[in-house]
Amino acid sequence: MTSTVQESLGISKDRWVIVGPFVQCTQDVFSMMLQWDVSLEGVAEKAGFQSKHDCSGFIGLSGGMKGSIVVSVGREVAFAAAEAFTGVRPTSIDSVVKDLVGELTNMIAGSSKDRLGFAGISLSLPTVVAGNEHSIWFHTGATVEILHFSSPYGPFSVEVGIRNDL
Amino acid sequence: MKILVADDSGIMRKIIIRSLHSIGMTDVVEAANGREAVELFKLHGPDLVLTDWNMPEMTGLEVVQELRGLGSQIPIIMITTEAQQRQVIAAIQAGCTDYLTKPFEADFLREKLDKYITV
Digits of tens for pLDDT over chain B (119 positions)?
A: 999 999 999 999 999 998 899 888 999 999 999 999 999 999 999 999 999 999 999 999 999 999 999 999 999 999 998 888 888 999 999 999 999 999 988 888 888 898 898 75
The CATH number linked to A120 is 3.40.1550.10
Could you say which DSSP state residue A141 is in? Answer: T
What pLDDT score does A12 carry? 77
In this prediction, residue A45 has a pLDDT band, given cuts at 50, 70 and 90, of confident
Average of per-residue pLDDT across A110-122:
82
Domain count across chain B: 1
Q: How far apart are CA A159 and CA A152, in angstroms?
A: 20
Q: B51 φ, ψ to 5°?
A: -135, 145
Range with the lowest mean pLDDT among A55-64, A65-74, A118-127, A143-152?
A118-127
Range with the lowest mean pLDDT among A32-41, A57-66, A93-102?
A57-66
What pLDDT score does A144 carry? 87
In this prediction, residue A49 has a pLDDT band, given cuts at 50, 70 and 90, of low
Min Cα distance A113 → chain B (Å) is 9
What is the percentage of chain A residues whose pLDDT exceeds 70?
92
Nearest-CB residue to A110 (from B9, B82, B105)? B82
Classify residue B114: in a domain, yes or no.
no
Average of per-residue pLDDT across A97-103:
95
User: Would the CB atoms of B15 and A33 count as touching at under 8 Å?
Assistant: yes
- Using the Cβ of A29 and the Cβ atoms of chain B, whether some distance falls under 8 Å is answered with yes
Classify residue B12: in a domain, yes or no.
yes
Range with the lowest mean pLDDT among A2-11, A37-46, B5-14, B84-93?
A2-11
In this prediction, residue A50 has a pLDDT band, given cuts at 50, 70 and 90, of low
Range with the lowest mean pLDDT among A12-16, A49-53, A92-96, A137-141?
A49-53
Q: How far apart are the first and last CA of chain A?
A: 29
Domain count across chain A: 1
Distant-in-sequence, close-in-space partners of B12: CB < 8 Å, separation ≥ 6: A103, B52, B79, B102
- Residue A121: domain span: 2-163
- Residue B24: domain span: 3-107
User: Would the CB atoms of B81 and A106 count as touching at under 8 Å?
Assistant: yes
Beta strands in A32-152, from DSSP E residues, in sequence order: 39-46, 49-50, 55-63, 67-73, 121-123, 127-130, 135-136, 142-151
A159 pairs with which residues across the strands? A70, A146
Nearest-CB residue to B14 (from A85, A111, A114)? A85
Q: How far apart are CA A110 and CA B6, in angstroms?
A: 18
Task: Look over chain A and give the mean of its residue pLDDT values, rounded to a whole number.
Answer: 87
Classify residue B7: in a domain, yes or no.
yes
Classify residue B76: in a domain, yes or no.
yes
The complex scores an ipTM of: 0.76
> A77 pLDDT exceeds 90?
yes
Classify residue B118: in a domain, yes or no.
no
What pLDDT score does A2 carry? 54
Contacts of A120 in chain B (CB under 8 A): none
Min Cα distance A142 → chain B (Å) is 25
The CATH number linked to B51 is 3.40.50.2300
Classify residue B77: in a domain, yes or no.
yes
Contacts of A106 in chain B (CB under 8 A): 9, 54, 81, 102
Q: Which of B62, B71, B49 is nearest to B2 (CA)?
A: B49
Q: How far apart are CA A96 and CA A78, in angstroms?
A: 10
Contacts of A85 in chain B (CB under 8 A): 11, 14-15
What pLDDT score does A132 carry? 82
In this prediction, residue A3 has a pLDDT band, given cuts at 50, 70 and 90, of low
